[in-house]
Structures are given as C-alpha cells and as structure tokens.
Amino acid sequence: GIYPKAFQYLEQTSKNYDEISDVFVKLVMLWQLQLAYGEDFYPKLHQLYRDIPSNELPQTDENKKQLFMIS
C-alpha cells in the first residue's frame, strides 16, 4: 500500500518534499489535507487563489509554496 511508503518517508529525519520520487506518496500528503479540513478545503483554496489580483500572484515556486502554507 501507499500509506506505509508515506509513513516511511515521514519517519526520515531529513526530508525534502520536492524530491519525493513517488507521486502517490506526494498525493498522500495532499489527501491528508482534505481528510483533515473537509471536502470544501480545495474548492475554498482555489477560490482564494482566483480572488488574488493577477499582479499579486506569486512568481517563484518558493513564493507559491509560501502562499499555499498561509492560505
């Protein structure tokens, strides 16, 4: 199963989420947000992104990650 792989990854002392090679392990992380915050988590998040003026949208991957974390 995929959950054991995800748990194995999370148990590592050093993690770089950008370098996870298994796309399904990455998806487990995103799925957990929906399980924790409900089915309306992603629709609300996407609405928030749509409401940001285009000139204020993040331009770099790091800024995109920061916006995701604070949203």
Q: What does pTM read for this prediction? A: 0.73
Report the alpha-carbon distance of residue 13 to residue 3 in Å, rounded: 18
Question: Look-up: residue for tokens 């792989």?
Answer: 5
One-letter amino acid of 71: S
φ/ψ of residue 30, rounded to 5: -70, -35
Residue range 6-50, pLDDT digits in tens = 999 999 999 998 899 999 999 998 999 999 999 999 999 999 999
Encoding tokens for residue 43? 């629709």
Distances (CA, A) of 34 to 38, 39, 45, 52, 53: 5, 6, 11, 22, 26
